[in-house]
Amino acid sequence: MKKVLLLPIAAAALGLAACSDKAQNETSQAADAVAADADATMGEAADDVSAASDRAFDSAENGIDRAGDAIGNAADDAGRAIDRTADDAGRAVDRGTRETGREMERVGNDLQN
């Protein structure tokens, strides 16, 4: 099978050897142009992949930022709720203390009379 492949390659080499200098130059220039196009295409593809990666990372970063903000907001809301509850409890204790004091004073007055 290797001999079968060598035959067309040898024929192509002989054909190229028989070409004029002008034809060889044109073939070389065409090969250079194809190589340059392939190189440019690969460069553009690499740039596209890089840009897509940057967008994906930016999107992920924004999602993490939004999640952090939501957690911070929830913590702030919880803190405010705790403060309100503590304030309500403090007012209830104050009312209970005042009412107890008034009741003790009334009982004391009743005992004196």
- pLDDT reported for residue 10: 54
Q: Is 49 within 8 Å of 57 (Cβ atoms)?
A: no
- pLDDT reported for residue 113: 73
What single-letter amino acid sits at 30? A
- pLDDT reported for residue 1: 46
pTM of the model: 0.49
List average pLDDT for each run of 10 residues in the chain, which is 113 residues long. Answer: 51 57 75 81 91 95 95 96 95 94 89 81
Chain-centre distance for alpha carbon 2: 53
DSSP string of 69-97, one letter each residue: HHHHHHHHHHHHHHHHHHHHHHHHHHHHH
